[in-house]
């Protein structure tokens, strides 16, 4: 596997899940695979789970790991071609990327949406340059539009906890004070569409996800109606994707706290499990009672990030 960005990159999803459960049983089984090889993890943005779980996954496979925080200690990078570099940016990404490729065998990159241009974000301008110019396999550790390591971990968690062969899974928008990217909901929708689940998306009007991600999912604007009989509730905030009104791209259109997932919402479900990728703002996205309840999967989901990253790195090394 040269690039890990979309669910299709894994090939057959059932085999990938089977491999994930094998790895979970014995996560050091492939310790020799990464011997004398190096993974470079590049962060343009903050992280707790991705940083730790991906390093742990690399260590499971015997890889050496280098972590670079681009904004802390590296030269400030210019990303646009054609710019006269007379400002504060000392190095261009077009030199920095192949240089980074010289020092490693596989590269993971995290670079969020900037919200400056919907087109630039949705064309994945930064990550695409790593794919093109690094000369190394590249895996996305959350890009402008996708977060596949998270969605793979979410799917592993759903497989582990489901009580029916085809559970009802609801992706619900929830309020947040700041503009957040659409990467997590985009990827979650893409992966749920590929999985054997009854998938429903609910959000206020104006928050429609890009059709290339939401695909065949049922969209229900009445949140309570969407929650009825659900087996899994996946809460997440996202800013306006600009699908119906491009000029609203990246804006916070509402912080309506009636969308906060609370016990009244969970009461209409089929004893649903609560999911969130973390970090989460309590009592905005979800109440203390729901996230602390026995139905909350937020910690097992985070733990499965190590498993999803181990499978992805393993396939990139093989």
Q: Which residues bind ligand CP (CB under 6 A)?
A: 47-50, 142, 150, 277-279
The CB-of-184 to ligand CP minimum distance in angstroms stands at: 7
- For residue 107, which phi and psi values (nearest 5 degrees)? -125, 130
The CB-of-187 to ligand CP minimum distance in angstroms stands at: 11
Q: By Cβ distance, which residue is nearest to ligand CP?
A: 50
The CB-of-149 to ligand CP minimum distance in angstroms stands at: 8
- For residue 145, which phi and psi values (nearest 5 degrees)? -125, -10
Rounded CA gap, 90 and 35, in Å? 35
Pairing of strands 218-219, 77-78: unpaired
Pairing of strands 138-140, 198-202: unpaired
CB-nearer residue toward ligand CP: 3 or 280: 280
CB-nearer residue toward ligand CP: 49 or 125: 49
8 Å CB contact between 253 and 204 = yes
CB-nearer residue toward ligand CP: 150 or 304: 150
8 Å CB contact between 176 and 253 = no
The CB-of-250 to ligand CP minimum distance in angstroms stands at: 18
CB-nearer residue toward ligand CP: 275 or 277: 277
Rounded CA gap, 241 and 223, in Å? 19
* Rounded alpha-carbon distances, angstroms, from residue 65 to 20, 96, 117, 313, 314: 21, 18, 33, 12, 14
CB-nearer residue toward ligand CP: 211 or 279: 279
The CB-of-304 to ligand CP minimum distance in angstroms stands at: 11
The CB-of-68 to ligand CP minimum distance in angstroms stands at: 15
- For residue 315, which phi and psi values (nearest 5 degrees)? -70, -30
CB-nearer residue toward ligand CP: 4 or 30: 4
């Amino acid at each position: 596997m040269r690039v890990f960005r979309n669910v299709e990159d894994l090939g057959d999803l059932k085999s990938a899940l089977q491999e994930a459960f094998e790895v979970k049983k014995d996560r050091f089984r492939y310790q020799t695979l990464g011997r004398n090889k190096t993974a470079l993890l590049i962060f343009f943005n903050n992280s707790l789970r991705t940083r730790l779980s991906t390093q742990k996954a690399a260590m499971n496979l015997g890889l050496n790991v280098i972590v670079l925080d681009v904004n802390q200690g590296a030269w400030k990078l210019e990303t646009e071609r054609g710019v006269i570099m007379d400002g504060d940016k000392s190095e261009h990404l077009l030199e920095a990327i192949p240089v980074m490729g010289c020092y490693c065998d596989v590269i993971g990159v995290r670079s969020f949406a900037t919200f400056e241009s919907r087109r630039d974000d949705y064309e994945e301008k930064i990550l695409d340059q790593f794919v093109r110019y690094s000369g190394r396999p590249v895996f996305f550790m959350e890009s402008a539009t996708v977060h596949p390591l998270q969605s793979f971990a979410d799917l592993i968690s759903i497989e582990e906890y489901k009580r029916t062969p085809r559970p009802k899974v609801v992706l619900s928008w929830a309020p947040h004070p700041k503009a957040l990217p659409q990467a997590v909901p985009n990827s979650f929708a893409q992966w749920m569409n590929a999985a054997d689940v009854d998938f429903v998306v609910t959000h206020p009007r104006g928050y429609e996800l890009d059709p290339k991600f939401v695909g065949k999912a049922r969209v229900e604007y009445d949140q309570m109606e969407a929650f009825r009989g659900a087996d899994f509730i996946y809460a997440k905030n996202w800013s306006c994707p600009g699908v119906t009104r491009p000029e609203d791209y990246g804006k916070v259109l509402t912080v309506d706290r009636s969308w906060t997932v609370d016990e009244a919402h969970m009461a209409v479900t089929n004893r649903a499990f609560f999911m969130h990728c973390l970090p989460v703002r309590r009592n905005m996205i979800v109440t203390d009672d729901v996230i602390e309840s026995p139905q909350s999967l937020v910690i097992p989901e985070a733990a499965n990030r190590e498993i999803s990253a181990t499978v992805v790195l393993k396939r990139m090394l093989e």
